Amino acid sequence: MVKIKIDEEACVGCGSCVDDCPNDVYKLDEKKGKSTVVNEEDCMACLSCHEICPAQAMEHQDIHVAKRLYIDRKVNEVIRKIL
């Protein structure tokens, strides 16, 4: 099953992920002013939330990572070396 982690240090509490997720996976914790994961089991790993989050605060674990063949193999090699 998908596991989602929110980096609370990074999250700025904008609520974009709450609005954007089609499956209501997130909720804004009003007290903390941070996003929280409330419905992990409905996450389909579309990663729209990654694209909208201005703080890159979330991490999805154990998901199918879609092929991105348009990224040059040479670029991938360099990235792999750096990481």
Partner 1 sequence: METEREVFGNFKPELIPEECSGDINDYEEALHVLMKFMGSMSSALEQVSGRGANAIVYQAGKRMGHEAGKLVEKTDDLEKAMQELSEILGIEFYFEMWKPSNQAEYTIEKGNETIVKLIFRDCVVRQTLRRTGLRQKGPLCYLLYGYTVGAVEEVMGIKGKLDIDHVGPNACLKTLTIKWGGK
Residue 58's CB is within 10 A of a number of other CB atoms, namely: 20
* DSSP 3-state of 37: strand
Q: Hunting for tokens 């990224």 — which residue is that?
A: 71
Q: Does 29 bind ligand SF4 (CB under 6 A)?
A: no
Nearer to ligand SF4, 61 or 80 (CB): 61
Choose, by CB under 8 A, the member of 72, 75, 81, 82 that binds partner 1.
Answer: 72
What's the gap between Cα 10 and its chain centre? 12
For residue 42, CA distances in Å to 9, 16, 28, 75 come to 25, 18, 17, 33
Q: Does 77 bind partner 1 (CB under 8 A)?
A: no
51 interacts with, out of ligand SF4, partner 1, none, CB within 5 to 8 A per kind = partner 1
Which residues are at the interface with ligand SF4 (CB under 6 A)? 6, 11-17, 21, 23, 25, 35, 43-49, 52-55, 57-58
